[in-house]
Amino acid sequence: MILRVVSAEVCGPHHLSLTFSDGTGGVADVGTLLYGPVFEPLREAGYFARAKLDRVCGTVVWPNGADIAPEAMRALVGAETIA
């Protein structure tokens, strides 16, 4: 099964509340993933807050084209199952 993000909400600086297609979810602090030129703008809280769920790709995206793989975000959430 290909892992997809099915819901996403910004819930703090560099924090996303996520639900994945495998039924798991929770809050991920993605701040540790924000390195490199494409992620530079996301370090600013106001720009990070512009995150949107791309339902076609199944991940979170930003206006500058940045996105983060669902697998990388899932690893930050752990194994909490959403009931």
How many C-alpha atoms does 60 have within 13 Å on its Cβ side?
Answer: 25
Helix (H) and strand (E) counts in the chain: 2, 6
Q: What is the value of pTM for the model shown? A: 0.89
Is the dihedral angle over the CA atoms 7, 26, 33, 48 positive or is it negative? positive
Structural domains of the chain ordered from first start: 5-77 (3.30.2020.10)
Q: pLDDT tens digits, the chain, 83 residues: what are they?
A: 899 999 999 999 999 999 999 999 999 999 999 999 999 999 999 999 999 999 999 999 999 999 999 999 999 986 454 54
pLDDT at 82: 52
Position 70 scores a pLDDT of 96
